[in-house]
Amino acid sequence: MTPASRDLNSIHAPVMPDRVVELVAPALQQQGAIYVDGTLGMGGHAAAVLTACPNARLVGFDRDAEAIAIATQRLAPFGDRVTTVHAVYDQLADKLDELGIDEFDAAFFDLGVSSLQLDEAERGFSYMQDAPLDMRMDRSAGVTAAELIAELDERALRQLFQRYGDEPLAARYARAIVDHRATQAIATTGELVEVLQQATPAKFRNAGHPAKRVFQALRIEVNGELDALESAIPQALERVRTGGRVVVEAYQSLEDRFVKRTFAAATTANAPRDLPFIPPELEAEFRLLTRGAEQAPVDEVDTNPRAKPVRLRAVERIRRGNNA
């Protein structure tokens, strides 16, 4: 399906758009304010922010060329206020340099797999539909999930499923995959699901779909998601101006734990605990804008079940260190 043939108002419901706008808008009031969307997707959040903040300019990143094509169409009414960048968000600093942007006013990251990628069976992200075992967000580069399944040894598969999927049956599933591929390659999502189902003990078969955690682990590895995140968020914190804000929506615990730790470090004073007072130069450079992780309201989850696992966190830069 081409972007022109899509109903852009129905293909994607952004998660917590009103709250995202509420958090970034105070930093985007001045003329020419720069809003960075590190995960542009189909442009839902970006459209909401640009509508609410008429003085803001958007720089939108996405590694998925199809998503950029859809977002470009969706954001066309905003004209030259929109710049799109086909890149992974861990290239944020380099790409901003290329655009001549030293700092920005607000940034937003909507992590994980997008509705576009999940809903198109041929992308291979969903264990509910049979398709080539691909899982690349950028289909122009990188190894596929099928190639990982074919090439990694049993130990590496087990570690992958444990690290990125918290899969309690990681060892069993790794062994089953290795045994199966000895006689027949695993090339589709359906074939992988069948191998996993056959390897799942009866007592675990009512504890959720056996492929859920394995597919998550493969997707994270194929796309280097955690490595990209661990590079991108510090870059964003470094480049946001004083008074600027960084907002992140995470959907699985590995991502959220990293965001939580990074924001906690940024909002903690760099001073010994026994000082009677904290000198200004040792004060934290950021402050938290959320108490813990915020979740989507019940009414939104009812209409958009994909909002259920979201954890939203946000910080504001309140000063810049003397060595910055």
Q: What is the 3-state secondary structure (H, E, C) of 107-125?
A: EEEECCCCHHHHHCHHHCC
CB-CB contact of 13 with 304 (8 Å): yes
Let me know if 77 is exposed, middle or buried by CB neighbors in 10 A (0-12, 13-18, 19+).
Answer: exposed
Instruction: For residues 133 and 151, give the distance between their C-alpha atoms in angstroms, rounded to a whole number.
Output: 14
The annotation status of 179 as a binding-site residue, yes or no, is no
Instruction: For residues 205 and 52, give the distance between their C-alpha atoms in angstroms, rounded to a whole number.
Output: 47
DSSP state at residue 10: T
Q: How far is CA 124 from each of CA 189, 193, 235, rounded to the nearest angstrom?
A: 6, 12, 30
Strands (E), 97-251: 104-110, 240-250
CB-CB contact of 133 with 144 (8 Å): yes
Instruction: For residues 277 and 72, give the distance between their C-alpha atoms in angstroms, rounded to a whole number.
Output: 51
The annotation status of 89 as a binding-site residue, yes or no, is yes
Strands (E), 29-170: 33-37, 56-62, 82-86, 104-110
Question: Would you tell me the crossing angle of helices 225-239 and 253-266 to the nearest 10 degrees?
Answer: 20
Q: How far is CA 108 from each of CA 41, 244, 248, 250, 278, rounded to the nearest angstrom?
A: 12, 11, 6, 11, 31
Helix, strand, coil content of the chain in percent (nearest 5): 50, 15, 35
The annotation status of 110 as a binding-site residue, yes or no, is yes
Extract the annotated binding site for S-adenosyl-L-methionine.
Answer: 43-45, 62, 89, 110, 117
Extract the annotated binding site.
Answer: 43-45, 62, 89, 110, 117
